[in-house]
Amino acid sequence: MDLLEKSLMQFVPVESPCHVQLSGGEPTMVPDLIEETAKTLQKKRPHATLGIQTNATLLDRSLVRLFSKYNIQVGVSLDGPPDIQEQLRGNAAATLKGLKLLEAENVPFRVTTVISNRNIDCLDKLVLMLGGFSTARGIGLDLLIHKGNAATSSSVFPATPEQTADGINRMMTAFQMINRNRREKLELREEKTVTNAVRGKSPACFCHAGKGESLAVCPDGSLYPCSQTACDPRFFMGTLDNPNIVPAGLLREFALSTEDCGDCPLSGQCPGDCYSRQYFNHGENRELICTLYQTLFKLIRD
């Protein structure tokens, strides 16, 4: 608890808006910490919002009601319909039970999906499944990073550009079908990103970490630019007791080059890619983010 409060008091501003995200591992394994974080922010940092990224397998009614009580933004790691989720993450039945609890308690949630060769063909089925949950708000897509289990797996690897384009097209068709009958429309995060870019609202960097505006605090008190870079010595930024906050843009050296953008319709407006993904992927499969954005751009334009 001391580490938690020290982190919040040291790095969450008093007056300015700020977002605190609890992730893991699995943060729902320590529900007391979730409530303590919510109480501390409510009392001492009222301008901050709080979110949690969970696999939803440990959710019970008391936890879900805790999310509702403190207005905690819920993100669920879900890579596909139950059969695909079972293959890629396991405990699919428990995750589905967690989604039903969120629905029963009227708690909104969003889904984060890692795209790989194993699920690119069923993203439309994921949308159709989420269409049955009135409290589902949308999906965010993360391209596969060669890190952790993905770095050693012989069966999970990045989808091809052709698979990616086809999967996104069918996914967007499913979005259109589902949203015809929904009061709260399901959103695709990346569609919104591309739409904003076309309208000239694209961020200067892909994410807050690229601008030096985020910080990951590990359980041992060590500091990193973001959760993807946590525990990598290349990105070590000291500890809570001895911070070494580097100038903004530590990750920007891994940004995509614009030299090969050619006649891309998003040239000069492109949101770019996750810097840490480019670092851990050693620059491989860089064209996939281009395929993703260009496919969405064509759909938006048409």
User: 19-73 pLDDT, tens per residue?
Assistant: 999 998 899 999 999 999 999 999 999 899 999 999 999 999 999 999 999 999 9
Dihedral (CA of 255, 261, 266, 267) sign:
positive
User: 85-115 pLDDT, tens per residue?
Assistant: 999 999 999 999 999 999 999 999 999 999 9
Gap between the Cα atoms of 134 and 208, Å rounded? 30
Q: Which two structure tokens, joined as six digits, stand for 139?
A: 């999906």
User: 242-282 pLDDT, tens per residue?
Assistant: 988 765 455 666 655 656 677 788 877 787 888 888 888 87
In a 10 Å sphere around its CB, with 0-12 CB exposed, 13-18 middle and 19+ buried, how is residue 61 labelled? exposed
What does each C-alpha distance from 211 to 16, 29, 87, 214, 257 come to in angstroms?
17, 31, 36, 8, 17
* 230-254: b (≥16 Cβ within 10 Å) or e: beeeebbbeebeeeeeeeeebbbeb
User: 168-184 pLDDT, tens per residue?
Assistant: 999 999 999 999 999 99
The pLDDT of 218-232, averaged and rounded, is: 90
- Domain residues of the chain, as ranges? 2-198, 209-301
Q: Could you tell me which residues are beta bridge partners of residue 110?
A: 75, 138
At the fourth CATH level, the homologous superfamily of domain 2-198 is: Aldolase class I (3.20.20.70)
Gap between the Cα atoms of 280 and 250, Å rounded? 15
Q: Could you tell me which residues are beta bridge partners of residue 188?
A: 139
